[in-house]
Amino acid sequence: MQNFEQCLFPDLEKDQYQVLWVQRQDKINPDTGQTRLELNFVIPNVELSTRKRLQPFYAPADLNRVAYT
């Protein structure tokens, strides 16, 4: 999660953005039969110190950048 946040917010301090992380383990991996870890996130589109709009992720442009962090 820390690496992901650093990738999305490289020039921002932790007090300039907010991320809500939700951990889920209710899905079963069909290959192993084990539950799998899934992390979901929500990022408000506001930079907290200025209250200006912030869009840290735009899927068509950024998906390759964060896919393996």
Distance, in Å, from the CA atom of 39 to the CA atom of 24, rounded to the nearest integer, reads 6
Distance, in Å, from the CA atom of 43 to the CA atom of 48, rounded to the nearest integer, reads 11
26: left (phi over 0), alpha (psi -120 to 50) or beta: alpha
pTM tops 0.75: no
pLDDT at res. 17: 97
pLDDT at res. 16: 97
Residue 58, token pair as written in the block: 């735009």
The pLDDT tens digits of the residues spanning 34-51 come to 999 999 999 999 999 999
Give the E-state strand segments of 1-69 in sequence order: 20-28, 35-42
